[in-house]
Structure 1
């Protein structure tokens, strides 16, 4: 079994803003590094990914419910649900971004971090369809009526060199 990747420093820095005890969606959660972090902070977590094998490691973790879902095709499988927090890292599917933000309950916190244009110089992902444009997360949350708490974009060298963009926002 490969070693567990530590949680994103961005997620760690902002997850305390999620309302105490509030249900959190970890979207495209992979092996669940953030689901584990949030469950350890007494949040009920709904961890979603299309990779059933990745989700299997979360089956015995208290406070985490998992679902193997296709987020990119057909009907939006999360329609009608509400979350006090939404965490997304290393994932971008633009057609569902408005649907995703609609899941955030009043007072809820969005924590989003992924790669941006220019990342091809450092490796994958390199397809512009999966890379944010400069300021794109900022524009997205503004259009959705969320209030920005923190935003950063540009070069990072940890955990490996990349161009990244991240935002923390709240639905007042």
Structure 2
């Protein structure tokens, strides 16, 4: 089951013939698997090898479609590799590492898309995450993509479960 209504509402932006989509910090991969059901070529990236190993047990996910990446390492090797990719898009849910935004934006080819949802500072009222380094400031996500075409933006409270998030769907010029 896909965890994000945002992805369901905008999955039509990705086309089977347009190249790979990266599910960045994919965790168990439910969002990427949802796109895979719509014949989209997916690359699943996460630091947790156990999650990636479980993904490979799915009949349509091959070892070549998983990437054990540490985007927060001091060497920045995986961030550099990301910046050199030419992806049709990137999806990110519940993950924030500010130094990665430049590489993420470079990895998407012109005309490609980013679908991003993560927590804002307002989330402190609901519990975790509650540390500033993992929470967006007001309008921060929109500002990070100000040079892209913003197709959808939301910032506020969502319910079931209660959480404070910012969501963006944008296209690279």
TM-score by length of 1: 0.91
Q: Distance in 2 between matches of 1:134 and 1:68?
A: 31
1:43–1:63 Cα contact (<8 Å) kept: no
Q: Deviations over 1:54-107 (max 9, x none)?
A: 111210331560011101111223231111011000000001111111111111
Classify 1:134/1:10 alpha carbon distance in 2 versus 1 (closer, same or farther; 3 Å). Answer: same
Instruction: Find the aligned partners of 1:48 and 1:79 in 2 and give their Cα distance.
Output: 14
CA contact (8 A) 2:96 2:134 kept: yes
C-alpha separation between the residues in 2 aligned to 1:21 and 1:27? 20
Determine helix, strand or coil for the equivalent of 1:153: strand
CA separation of 1:121/1:112 partners in 2, compared to 1, >3 Å: closer, same or farther? same
Between 1:116-125 and 1:70-79, the stretch displaced more is 70-79
Question: In structure 1, what is the Cα distance between the partners aligned to 2:41 and 2:47?
Answer: 20
* 1:68 and 2:82 correspond: no
CA RMSD, Structure 1 to Structure 2 (Å): 1.3
Larger fraction in helix = 2
How far has the Cα of 1:49 moved from its partner? 0.2
Structure 1: tracts of 5 or more residues without a match:
none
* Map of 1:155 onto structure 2: 157
Match of 1:49 among 46, 56, 61: 46
| Distance of 2:16 and 2:111 partners within structure 1 | 11
- What are structure 2's unaligned runs of at least 5 residues? none
Contact 1:7 1:37 in 2 (8 A): no
Tell whether 2:31 aligns with 1:29: no
Aligned residue for 2:144, secondary structure, equals helix
